[in-house]
């Protein structure tokens, strides 16, 4: 029988497991607290469970493990972690520590939901490497727990408080495990991360966006737009061939109707490609009557995609100003960690080449 990963289990699943093992129900709460509140890495650390239960857990269960292969720190403070999974695959996550005002201090972690990605966006290092497999709930969650351990070891008293599903992979292609991770992170007996402090990013998997809308999960939805018309969007995002902009916008409007939440659109600004006055007008038309915010991200250079040139600061500011004058909410989001292969999949790509 395959061992069950305790980090992938909800309280009711732990209760059922312990019942099968002939253990009283109250043990499930203790077990849940060890796994999801204290984030232990070893079964033997759960010292109040009794010898008999610990032996049973060692026999039937496991706790997801991942080894820190490499850590890089950017000049802007962004930290990137490359973890190796039990099967030898690598995943990345990125930590941003926001300081300043006490009330604004937070640690935000951008995590992966898949090894590789099938979506093939041409500006993305992960997309260029293809899809390998979905991550389990325990593997997605462990990125948060392992980084929390690292923070603690460094004496940082703030655990990860904001989670962004924007690392490697398309989260909506692994929706069951992403959804379960969100509810475990949000659990009052676990890390208690507020649901509005979690962002799920999609490149536009329309049927799954409808599914997410019907669930009325209160997460922040971020949609990778990157181009304001079908021709250009299809040229950089193959997903647009399956679900063109009309379908994508229909899904966004449906999502907003169901959840009443503002949608974030990510727009990688590429000099000479999608930064012209006509693109502002196309965006204005596309996003009409939608409560949304545009994050304008000056494109990050990716190996083998030299055709994407980064606009200079003046061009970026002018584009944002034009969007605002057109009545859109827009701001610049500087990509962090560009000097440490900060964009999704770059560090893993280098590791695989080695
Ligand atoms: S940008 Fe996101 S969806 Fe597109 S290939 Fe990269 S990881 Fe996949």
Residues 23 and 91 in one domain: no
- Convert the pLDDT of each residue in 8-46 to its tens digit: 999 999 999 999 999 999 999 999 999 999 999 999 999
- Convert the pLDDT of each residue in 164-174 to its tens digit: 999 999 999 99
203 pocket-lining for ligand 1 (C-beta < 6 Å): yes
Please identify, among 20, 36, 62, the residue that sits at the C-terminal boundary of a domain.
62
Q: How remote is the CA of residue 187 from the centroid of ligand 1, in Å?
A: 28
Please identify, among 29, 47, 62, the residue that sits at the C-terminal boundary of a domain.
62
> pTM of the prediction?
0.94
Residues 145 and 187 in one domain: yes
Average pLDDT over residues 301-325: 82
Residues 137 and 202 in one domain: yes
Residues 57 and 70 in one domain: no
CATH number at residue 306: 3.20.20.70
119 pocket-lining for ligand 1 (C-beta < 6 Å): yes
Residues 116 and 226 in one domain: yes
Q: How remote is the CA of residue 122 from the centroid of ligand 1, in Å?
A: 9
Q: Is 344 a catalytic residue?
A: yes
pLDDT at residue 333, rounded to an integer: 86
Please identify, among 39, 62, 85, the residue that sits at the C-terminal boundary of a domain.
62
Number of domains in the chain: 2
Residues 134 and 35 in one domain: no
Residues 176 and 324 in one domain: yes
pLDDT at residue 349, rounded to an integer: 65
Q: Is 92 a catalytic residue?
A: yes
Residues 79 and 169 in one domain: yes
Residue nearest to atom 7 of ligand 1 (CA): 169
Confidence of residue 100 (pLDDT cuts 50, 70, 90): confident
Angle, CA 169 vertex, CA 283 and CA 143 arms, to 5°:
120
pLDDT > 90 fraction of the chain, expressed in percent and rounded:
83
Q: Point out the ligand 1 atom lying closest to the alpha carbon of residue 169.
A: 7
Residues 178 and 269 in one domain: yes
Residue nearest to atom 3 of ligand 1 (CA): 170
- Convert the pLDDT of each residue in 207-262 to its tens digit: 999 999 999 989 999 999 999 999 999 999 999 999 999 999 999 999 999 999 99
302 has pLDDT over 90: no
343 pocket-lining for ligand 1 (C-beta < 6 Å): no
94 has pLDDT over 80: yes
Residues 45 and 144 in one domain: no
Residues 150 and 22 in one domain: no
170 pocket-lining for ligand 1 (C-beta < 6 Å): yes
Residues 23 and 158 in one domain: no
117 pocket-lining for ligand 1 (C-beta < 6 Å): yes
Q: How remote is the CA of residue 74 from the centroid of ligand 1, in Å?
A: 22
Q: Out of 249-253, 318-322, 346-350, which region has the weakest mean confidence (pLDDT)?
A: 346-350
Q: Which residue segment(s) compose the domain that 318 sits in?
A: 66-353
- Convert the pLDDT of each residue in 59-87 to its tens digit: 999 999 999 999 999 888 899 999 999 99
């Amino acid at each position: 029988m395959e061992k069950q990963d305790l980090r992938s289990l909800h309280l009711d699943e732990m209760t059922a497991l312990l019942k099968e093992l002939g253990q009283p129900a109250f043990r499930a709460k203790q077990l849940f607290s060890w796994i999801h509140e204290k984030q232990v890495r070893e079964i033997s650390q759960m010292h109040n469970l009794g010898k008999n239960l610990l032996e049973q857990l060692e026999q039937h269960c496991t706790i997801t493990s991942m080894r820190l292969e490499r850590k890089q720190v950017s000049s802007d403070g962004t930290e990137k972690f490359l973890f190796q999974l039990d099967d030898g695959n690598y995943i990345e996550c990125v930590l941003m520590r926001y300081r300043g005002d006490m009330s604004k201090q937070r640690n935000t972690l951008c995590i992966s939901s898949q090894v590789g990605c099938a979506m093939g966006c041409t500006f993305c290092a992960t997309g260029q490497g293809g899809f390998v497999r979905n991550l389990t709930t325990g593997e997605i969650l462990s990125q948060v727990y392992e980084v929390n351990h690292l923070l603690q070891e460094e004496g940082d008293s703030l655990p990860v408080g904001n989670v962004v599903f924007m690392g490697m992979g398309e989260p909506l292609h692994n929706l069951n495990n992403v959804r379960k991770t969100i509810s475990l992170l949000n659990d009052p007996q676990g890390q208690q991360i507020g649901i509005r402090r979690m962002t799920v990013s999609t490149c536009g998997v329309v049927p799954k966006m409808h599914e997410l809308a019907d669930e009325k999960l209160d997460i922040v939805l971020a949609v990778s737009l990157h181009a304001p018309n079908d021709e250009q969007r299809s040229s950089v995002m193959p997903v647009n061939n399956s679900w063109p902009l009309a379908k994508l916008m229909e899904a966004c409007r449906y999502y907003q109707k169901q959840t009443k939440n503002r949608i974030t659109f990510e727009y990688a600004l590429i000099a000479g490609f999608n930064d012209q006055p006509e693109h502002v007008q196309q965006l204005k038309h596309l996003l009409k009557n939608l409560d949304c915010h545009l994050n304008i991200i000056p494109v990050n250079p990716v190996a083998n995609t030299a055709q994407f040139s980064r606009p200079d600061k003046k061009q970026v500011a002018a584009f944002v100003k034009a969007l605002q004058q057109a009545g859109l909410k827009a701001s610049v989001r500087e990509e962090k960690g560009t000097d440490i292969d900060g964009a999704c999949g770059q560090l893993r790509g280098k590791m695989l080449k080695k």
